[in-house]
Amino acid sequence: MKNQISTNDGIQYVDTPRRNSWITQLWNEFRKRKLAMLCLTLLCIVYLVGIFAPILETHDYSETNLSRTQHGPDKENWLGTDRLGRDIYTRVIWGIQTTVIITVATFVTGSVALGISLGLIAGYFRGKSDILIMRLGEIVAAFPDILLIILLAATLRPRIISLAHYLEDTVGIKGLLSTGVADYLVIGIALLPLSWFGLMRLVRGQVLALREAEYVQASRAIGTPTIKILFRHILPNVLSPIIVSISFTVGAIALSEVMLSFFGLGVQPPRPSLGVMIGDVTARGGASVSVLRDHPEQLLAPILVVWLMIFCWNIIGDALNDILNPRIHR
Q: According to DSSP H, which parts of the chain are helical?
A: 22-31, 34-51, 53-56, 88-108, 111-125, 127-141, 145-166, 181-190, 192-210, 214-221, 226-228, 239-262, 274-282, 287-294, 297-324
pLDDT at 24: 82
Cα separation of 209 and 134, whole Å?
A: 17
Cα separation of 285 and 303, whole Å?
A: 18
Domain layout of the chain by residue ranges: 97-329
CA distances from 130 to 125, 127, 136, 143, 220 (A): 7, 5, 10, 21, 20
CB 199 within 8 A of CB 242: yes
pLDDT at 172: 77
pLDDT at 110: 63
pLDDT at 18: 47
pLDDT at 286: 46
pLDDT at 169: 82
CA distances from 65 to 73, 190, 264 (A): 15, 35, 24
Tens digit of pLDDT at every position of the chain (330 positions): 444 444 455 544 444 344 456 678 888 888 899 999 999 999 999 999 999 999 999 888 888 888 888 888 888 888 888 888 888 899 999 999 988 888 877 776 666 778 888 888 888 888 888 899 888 888 877 877 778 888 888 888 888 888 888 888 887 787 777 777 888 888 878 877 766 777 888 888 888 888 888 888 888 888 888 888 888 888 888 888 888 888 878 888 888 888 888 877 777 777 888 888 887 777 654 455 666 677 777 888 888 998 999 999 999 988 888 887 655 554
pTM: 0.77
Residue 37: what residue type?
M
CB 196 within 8 A of CB 118: yes
126 CB contacts (<8 Å, ≥6 apart)?
208
Identify the sign of the CA torsion 127, 133, 136, 141. negative
CATH superfamily of 97-329: MetI-like (1.10.3720.10)
80: region left, alpha or beta (phi > 0 left; psi from -120 to 50 alpha): left
pLDDT at 287: 52
